Structure 1
Amino acid sequence: MGGLGKTTLARKIYNNNEVKKLFPCCVWGYLCNDYRPKEFFLSLLKCLRSSTSDYENLSEVDLKKKVAEELMEKKYLIVLDDIWKPQVWDDIKGAFPDDKTGSRIIITSRELEVARYTATTSPYELPALNKDESWELFCKKVFHGEQCPFDLEPLGRSIVETCRGLPLAIVVLAGFVARKEKSQRDWIRIKNNKLTDVIKILRLSYDNLPLELKPCFLYFGIYPEDYEISVKEVIQLWIAEGFIIKENQTTKEKREDVGDRYLDDMVDCNLVQVVRRRSNGGAKTCRIHDLFRDLCVSECISDKFLEVCTESNINTISGINPRRLSFHCQPSCVMKYVKQCTRSVFYFHETDADYNLKSFELARVLHSATLGFSSQPNNLKRMIHLRYLHILSCKYLLASISCLWNLETLCVCNTPKISSEIWKLKRLRHLYLGVFDEITETTGERVIMENLQTLGLIHKDERAILKLQNVLFPRLRKLTLFWDDYLNGFCYPLEELSSLPSLKNLQSLNITSKIAQLTNANVFPSNLTKIILKIKSPLEGHIFMNTLGALPNLQILKLINWLFDKTMCETYIDTGKFLQLQVFHLRELIINWEELGEDVMSNLRHLVIERCDERSKFPEQLFSLSSLRVMRLVDCPYSFVERVEEWGLNKDCKLIIDSRECK
């Protein structure tokens, strides 16, 4: 059954360093009950390639062929997590070529029929934990290595027995107990809840969430099974829905920071699983267990909080009046399901459905990565209640957008032309504009975007930055600039960044382009804590690196060659540089770095070297820094890995070897 630890065990094997050495190519694929072939094959390609943007529009058959081509003649390990039906295996097995290289496939399933149908060896059936194992797991989560008080042990063991040896239930119950006082009085109250089955144990954790966290947790029900959820996205949705209204004036927390704290609380309760973490340790993506998703959906239906539209229930949805509607299948006519009372609409399925924005006039949220407008929508200007809009494309994002005065988050993946009217949206907090040819210049007086915190531009307009000179961003925290046509040789004019006034609060800068050489050492705002540069051209390493090294607050630096054609970076870093740097990530660069200056990177904790060229030269002192805790080598030649192992790391540093391809 769900929660026995099938995925956890498979993940332990998958992440083991010895296993990584045996299988240079490792891929993880989620299937789940609501299996979607195209999304599945695309997820496999994302494990195999750094970029899959060229494959987004391919058919299921073509994607399957691409996966097979990527795996050809490689020794691979593939985990296929949560297969529900034997025919799913028949559909996907053609993507995994057997070239007699010693490759292996691990399958997890709740169905013994599936295990017997797919396996060439006898399936391993996970047993439930015995009483002692259950108690050991419970104590580990509640007491974090310390002993349980003698007087609480009999009572604690009787509470744990209600979990029937199911690890998920034990972990969730432990998360709930850990937040209570460790006293007989409180533990007796817990026992008196009469926890007779798994669902009651899961519901206990939900019922005891603080009131403000309950709608945030139920909101995870909008996502399909095993969906990898962007933490940034779900927090923006919580804000748009009004779940997080006020900023904390005492601690000066932004609403987004409050959302981060909410998510951390749910992770601490073991209600939410972190899948990937950001460089600073915060959650980047997350997922909820199928049993918790079932709990969310059942609670949502009874409260009319949310309806999920699938192939099996689509014919019954039209008679219901849901406040939020999430499509996991393709509806024939959206108007049939979206009612006047519907405030939020989500699409997680490719759709060419007949839609009319008149149905959405009272909506607060419209979220879809597959829905686009081929012409200027007539009713767009009437959607004045809209706070969150995420769509695939809009042919013309023109003047009518300025009517959406409540908009806080706007993401349009593709739009040819953008009007300067967009700067009239004074409540905007997050703006992402993808692949546009032109943005019209502001005229007259300067415009102040008082609330904007995130700005992401993927553009072909060479003067895009200069056209923003009359726009002030006093609270901007994150700026992402991607020159979409940079392969044709355009050098990003870094100096133009200094033409943008009022970037005093900018913390994160992400630029993808052919980088021009620096002539102005003051181009980067001094408050920057994170810089990601995806580059094409060679760097003047000494000038460039020492300019970055002088930034007083820089904690995360990622230098990535986007083209994989081995860009040279020759450098000597002066003494006393990068004093606050904690994360340093290098990818696809030929580094000619002979010596480490005194006190350079003295606080470095996490070093990642990806696709390192054999010609690279690193100073041995870099790997023996006393502050270093994690060193990750990704797709590096074995000769380089052996060299690092010979040098030896400090005793507190963990070496992680992660390889997708034979080198």
Structure 2
Amino acid sequence: MDAIAVVSLVIKKLQGLLPADENTTTNDPTVFQKQAQGAIDSLEPLKQFLKNEDDREASSGHSLMDDQVVTQLLRAVYSADDALNTLILKKELQEQTDIKSGTIRKSKRFMKNLISRKGMGKLNKEIRRLVEIKEKAVTSDTSFSTVGNGGGRQSSSWQDRRARISDFCLEEETDVDLVNELLIRLVPYQFPKLIAVIGEGGSGKTTLAKTIYDRVDVRRYFTKRAWIQVPSLFNTRQVLGDILQQINEAELVEESTLSEDELMWRIIKLLNGARCLIVLEDVEATQILETVLNPLCNSSQFDTRMILTTSNANKLPPQTGYLALHLGRLNEEESWKLFLNKVRMKEDEVVNSELISLKEKILMMCGGLPARIVLLGGLLSTKERSNNEWSRVVLERAGNNKGDIMALSYQDLPSEIKPCFLYMGIFPKKVEIPVRRLIHLWVAEGFVMPLLDPEETNHEDMAGRCFEELVIRNMIQVIRWKSDGSPKTCYMPGVLYDFFSSKAEAVGFFNRQFHTSSNKNPELAAVRRLATYSGIKNLQSSLFAHVHQNLRSYVAYDTRIRCSPSIETGMLLKKIISNRGFGLLNSLDLEGVYKPKLSDDLVGKLLHLKYLGLRSTFIDILPATVGSLPCLETLDVKHTNIKEAVHIVKAEKLRHVYLCVNSSNKVLLDLSSFTNLHTLWGQNVGSLSELTLLEKLTRLRKLKLTGDIKLFRSKQSVECFAKLTNLQSLKLRSIPKSIEYDSFIYLDSLAEHHKLQELYLLGTLPGNRLSDYIPPNLRKLTLSMSRPGIDPMPLLGQLPHLNVLRLLSNSVMVERLTCSAGGFPKLRLLKLWHHKYWKPVLLTVEEEAMSSLNELEIRDCHMQPPRGLENVITLKEITLTNMPDTFREDVEKILQGRNVYIKKSTCPSSLKVCPLVLCIS
């Protein structure tokens, strides 16, 4: 579990206590330091034991510790960490009291030292108990022997193995016959409207449905589509809300305020006359047939087809009209083909090597189940391609039952990644998790330890490498991607979730609201991490009794509109603050919970809080005490509606701040104090003096500002941004009353920003100096109102890493755009919006140009049909918005015979004019 991470963190904190306190007497600090050093000396062997045990399990698959020992060990480790945190915090509070009083009297010194000695005594008591548990584990198995560093693991560090995730997320190949069979069953009027894909866990149901869902011909036929991951605890309202969100492209609807009947009425109205495909993944509840499927399938107002995946045919009542497609296991040929795909090797590479001798064993281990094949392939892809290395995994450590490959994949993980992986089980099954949210939570939990100076180490980068490793090993599945190919949302695959989440909960790694297994464990004295899925009020009383002052992490997944969030959240905070007078909570994540109300007095006592996630809560009031939390590192209030000003002054450890643009002037930051900021997203600046404060924030990586356009055209802004050399994403937003086309933007320093990867620039650029404005390592570039007067394509085509190019609102003021041969080697997406040059613009794509382009979007442009599109063999989708029918017909002729999805859409008139915003993103 996360025992190694916690022990390492405790040692680091103890090392921070070793310097003498100059305000204490000579003898007392010496006694205190000796106690601290003694604790370190006791913990270091424990840390090595845990590391050796981790390596032992990875190399042999055998562990000294069963679930009961692991539970006891975690309890003891957590207790030691809690004792140390209490000690440190009480010392800090006493010191603050001394500073405020202006004098340090002898009695107060005595009290502070007494607190230190008592706290250290309690800590050492917990450490002794911890060591005893370790010794019992060792003596209970005489076969224990120390395993060398790495346990035979690949010598290269996991941090350096992979540079980009998307390069290793290969498309899974699906049986052509199965695909065709499912396609035939979607033909109108020949079959029932509901198709059930049935198969055991890991048989490939989701992959098959996804292949159909994304096919070009399916997308052409079905004008509306929705993919719904049905929650384990079926919720009609949530499912209907998800369907409405995905089919409702024209308007924004706050579905959280609608009843079930209103949601269904809205869906039926939107589908009127349309053809719609809905996929319901992982159905476990029969109620979905009565409340969702039947009303939609039986409507005569529209043509709806539904694909349902389930592992249990008994969940489907026999009286329901549906066709069943049963998935069996893969044969040897299919299994081997999928394995080679996941291990990223070609057939001849294996046949011509000694690895071919392992083929029979690999196939036997996997048993024809795609989920096992994918996991084993991901695991072996991280190993050296040698018979010795693969044999160690395949022959020495693997068994033949279902659990072994999953356990093997976990055991082989580096110890620093294991708690990150297990933590994903705290989220509901198959709920899409924003990668941004996951990374920040990992950091706040302390799973990611700095290798060097923590002041110089970016924890989020390290967490990102953990994420990459899990994706490469197929232990995390990326669900949605950003336009530049980076991961946006993810989840733990269902088979892994079922296997690991219950095990992690059983040993007390976390607790979830609807499980009671932890409560039956007599060794569990407290809940350390808690996730609730339907509010705190619905917690079992036995579980809530264990939620007390040692709770370190609370994550809520409660989107009910009609509840009492202020009462429920207050219940929890009072519980963890009681007796001690403050809470040890380090993560409070309420993202998506509707308008939670947090009181000043309770929040102000969360002195260990590192992460406060209030995104998409639409809260009206942010507690003023948030600004004084001494440990706060991440504050996320994006998509909120804060109405009362809050001053953030004393939260000096802030690293990431996400503000809501519309209310960012209500969250007032003292920028001169937060020199450690890495993210400042959504800040308003009203004057040059405010803008120039930013030049001190030299560690900034992501910056989004809103202000008058004149601020961003000044000499001071040029000098300011020139000093922010660590920027990776910069967004400057301005909405002026008018734009001066002859007023050039001079940000000459941008070309020197080698770390800048995302750039969105609105404003006129001098064409003869365009190269001065384009950083060399861009991945995403957007130009709007740039009017360079020259064809920018030859210059932009030389950017080696460019994935996304968006030319918006008169950023093309020439008659021809030419993509030269070999240009844009990595471009995935090209958007051309709102170009009204007096002559129709001609886009020409020469041979071998844009060799990676997947999507092209043309919106409201005066253009000729593009030339050379037939040369782009990777092109999958073209979206034409507010373009003449003749233009579409010409494009269809150009691509005749190609499997390219050409989508025609209209944009509301209010959106046809590009907003005047200045952005460097």
| TM-score class, shorter | 0.7 to 0.9
Q: Which letter maps to 1:621? A: T
Q: What SS does structure 1 have at the residue aligned with 2:652?
A: coil
> Structure 1 residues 521, 589: closer, same or farther in 2, change over 3 A?
closer
> Structure 1 residues 597, 10: closer, same or farther in 2, change over 3 A?
closer
Q: Give yes or no for contact 2:822–2:849 (8 Å, CA) kept in 1.
A: no
Q: Give yes or no for contact 2:601–2:625 (8 Å, CA) kept in 1.
A: no
Higher helix share: 2
Counterparts of 2:319 and 2:693, CA distance in 1: 62
Q: CA deviation at 1:628?
A: 3.7
* Aligned counterpart for 1:363 among listed residues 573, 580, 585: 585
- Which piece of structure 1 moves more, 614-623 or 221-230? 614-623
Provide Cα deviations, 1:287-339, integer angstroms capped at 9, x if missing partner. 21112112332231233110111288899799862210011122217765531
Counterparts of 2:822 and 2:733, CA distance in 1: 25
Q: CA deviation at 1:627?
A: 3.9
Q: Which letter maps to 1:389? A: L
Counterparts of 2:857 and 2:270, CA distance in 1: 18
Which structure has the larger Rg?
A: 2
Q: Give the match for residue 377 of structure 1.
A: 600
Q: Give the match for residue 626 of structure 2.
A: 401
Q: Give the match for residue 430 of structure 1.
A: 656
Counterparts of 1:466 and 1:66, CA distance in 2: 50
Counterparts of 2:381 and 2:803, CA distance in 1: 32
Counterparts of 2:902 and 2:759, CA distance in 1: 25
Q: Give the match for residue 161 of structure 1.
A: 364
Counterparts of 1:104 and 1:396, CA distance in 2: 45
Q: Give yes or no for contact 1:593–1:619 (8 Å, CA) kept in 2.
A: no
Q: Give the match for residue 487 of structure 1.
A: none
Gap runs ≥5 in structure 1: 484-489, 534-538, 562-567
Counterparts of 2:613 and 2:646, CA distance in 1: 18
Q: Give yes or no for contact 2:350–2:356 (8 Å, CA) kept in 1.
A: no
Q: Which letter maps to 1:385? A: H
Q: Is 1:322 aligned to 2:546, yes or no? A: no
Gap runs ≥5 in structure 2: 1-199, 577-582, 879-900, 907-921
Q: CA deviation at 1:88?
A: 0.7
Q: CA deviation at 1:202?
A: 0.7
Normalization by structure 2: what TM-score? 0.61
Q: Give yes or no for contact 1:55–1:63 (8 Å, CA) kept in 2.
A: no
Higher strand share: 1
> Structure 1 residues 546, 228: closer, same or farther in 2, change over 3 A?
farther
Q: Give the match for residue 111 of structure 1.
A: 312
Q: Give the match for residue 477 of structure 1.
A: 701
Q: What SS does structure 2 have at the residue aligned with 1:162?
A: helix
Q: Give yes or no for contact 2:703–2:731 (8 Å, CA) kept in 1.
A: yes
Q: Give the match for residue 728 of structure 2.
A: 507
Q: How does 1:286-301 map to 2 (within 5 A)?
A: 286-301=490-505
Q: CA deviation at 1:592?
A: 6.7
Q: Which letter maps to 2:419? A: P
Q: Which letter maps to 2:305? A: R
Q: Give yes or no for contact 1:84–1:109 (8 Å, CA) kept in 2.
A: yes
Provide Cα deviations, 1:97-125, integer angstroms capped at 9, x if missing partner. 85576543222122224557597553111
Q: CA deviation at 1:409?
A: 0.8
Q: Give the match for residue 146 of structure 2.
A: none
Q: CA deviation at 1:654?
A: 2.9
Q: Give yes or no for contact 1:311–1:329 (8 Å, CA) kept in 2.
A: no
Q: CA deviation at 1:366?
A: 0.5
* Aligned counterpart for 1:596 among listed residues 817, 828, 831: 817
Q: What SS does structure 1 have at the residue aligned with 2:506?
A: helix
Counterparts of 1:452 and 1:482, CA distance in 2: 18
Q: Give the match for residue 843 of structure 2.
A: 620
Q: What SS does structure 1 have at the residue aligned with 2:220?
A: helix
Q: CA deviation at 1:552?
A: 2.6
Q: Which letter maps to 2:600? A: P
Q: What SS does structure 1 have at the residue aligned with 2:500?
A: helix
Normalization by structure 1: what TM-score? 0.83
Q: Give yes or no for contact 1:24–1:661 (8 Å, CA) kept in 2.
A: no
> Structure 1 residues 648, 596: closer, same or farther in 2, change over 3 A?
closer
Q: Which letter maps to 1:436? A: S
Q: Which letter maps to 1:478? A: K
> Structure 1 residues 540, 302: closer, same or farther in 2, change over 3 A?
closer
Q: Give the match for residue 130 of structure 1.
A: 331
Q: Is 1:343 aligned to 2:542, yes or no? A: no
Q: Is 1:583 aligned to 2:583, yes or no? A: no
Q: Is 1:417 aligned to 2:644, yes or no? A: yes
Q: Give yes or no for contact 1:82–1:110 (8 Å, CA) kept in 2.
A: yes
Q: CA deviation at 1:432?
A: 1.1
Counterparts of 1:317 and 1:63, CA distance in 2: 42
Q: Which letter maps to 1:594? A: E
> Structure 1 residues 314, 662: closer, same or farther in 2, change over 3 A?
farther
Counterparts of 2:314 and 2:216, CA distance in 1: 32
Counterparts of 2:403 and 2:728, CA distance in 1: 43
Counterparts of 2:597 and 2:685, CA distance in 1: 26
> Structure 1 residues 189, 111: closer, same or farther in 2, change over 3 A?
closer
Q: What SS does structure 2 have at the residue aligned with 1:480?
A: strand
Q: Give yes or no for contact 2:554–2:587 (8 Å, CA) kept in 1.
A: yes
Q: CA deviation at 1:509?
A: 2.5
Counterparts of 2:433 and 2:319, CA distance in 1: 29
Q: Give yes or no for contact 2:483–2:804 (8 Å, CA) kept in 1.
A: no
Provide Cα deviations, 1:404-450, integer angstroms capped at 9, x if missing partner. 11111111242223434x1432221111122426347678xx71422
Q: Is 1:655 aligned to 2:655, yes or no? A: no
Q: Give yes or no for contact 1:247–1:253 (8 Å, CA) kept in 2.
A: yes
Q: Which letter maps to 2:308? A: I
Provide Cα deviations, 1:81-102, integer angstroms capped at 9, x if missing partner. 2222232122223357855765
Counterparts of 1:623 and 1:405, CA distance in 2: 58
Q: CA deviation at 1:372?
A: 4.5
Q: Give the match for residue 21 of structure 2.
A: none
What is the percent sequence identity of the aligned residues?
24
* Aligned counterpart for 2:391 among listed residues 187, 200, 206: 187
Q: Give the match for residue 758 of structure 2.
A: 530
> Structure 1 residues 158, 325: closer, same or farther in 2, change over 3 A?
same
Q: CA deviation at 1:224?
A: 0.6
Counterparts of 1:541 and 1:384, CA distance in 2: 48
Q: Is 1:521 aligned to 2:755, yes or no? A: no
> Structure 1 residues 153, 505: closer, same or farther in 2, change over 3 A?
closer
Counterparts of 2:689 and 2:263, CA distance in 1: 40
Q: Give the match for residue 78 of structure 1.
A: 278
Q: Give the match for residue 331 of structure 1.
A: 536
Q: Give the match for residue 20 of structure 1.
A: 219
Q: Give yes or no for contact 1:389–1:411 (8 Å, CA) kept in 2.
A: yes
Counterparts of 1:46 and 1:418, CA distance in 2: 33
- Which piece of structure 1 moves more, 178-187 or 607-616? 607-616
Q: Give yes or no for contact 1:481–1:510 (8 Å, CA) kept in 2.
A: yes
Provide Cα deviations, 1:34-91, integer angstroms capped at 9, x if missing partner. 3333443343344335697641532242333333333322222222222222321222
Q: Is 1:632 aligned to 2:835, yes or no? A: no
Q: Give the match for residue 206 of structure 2.
A: 7
Counterparts of 2:678 and 2:621, CA distance in 1: 24
Counterparts of 2:610 and 2:749, CA distance in 1: 30
Q: Give the match for residue 292 of structure 2.
A: 92
Q: Which letter maps to 1:427? A: K
> Structure 1 residues 660, 79: closer, same or farther in 2, change over 3 A?
farther
Q: Give yes or no for contact 1:441–1:468 (8 Å, CA) kept in 2.
A: no
Q: CA deviation at 1:190?
A: 2.9
Q: How many residues align?
A: 638
Provide Cα deviations, 1:271-299, integer angstroms capped at 9, x if missing partner. 11112233443322212111211233223
Q: Is 1:553 aligned to 2:762, yes or no? A: no
Q: Give the match for residue 352 of structure 1.
A: 564
Counterparts of 2:819 and 2:378, CA distance in 1: 46
Counterparts of 2:482 and 2:209, CA distance in 1: 23
Q: Give yes or no for contact 1:45–1:52 (8 Å, CA) kept in 2.
A: no
Counterparts of 1:296 and 1:544, CA distance in 2: 58
Q: Which letter maps to 2:337? A: E
Q: Give the match for residue 236 of structure 2.
A: 37
Q: CA deviation at 1:385?
A: 0.7
Q: Give yes or no for contact 1:226–1:290 (8 Å, CA) kept in 2.
A: yes
Q: What SS does structure 2 have at the residue aligned with 1:332?
A: helix
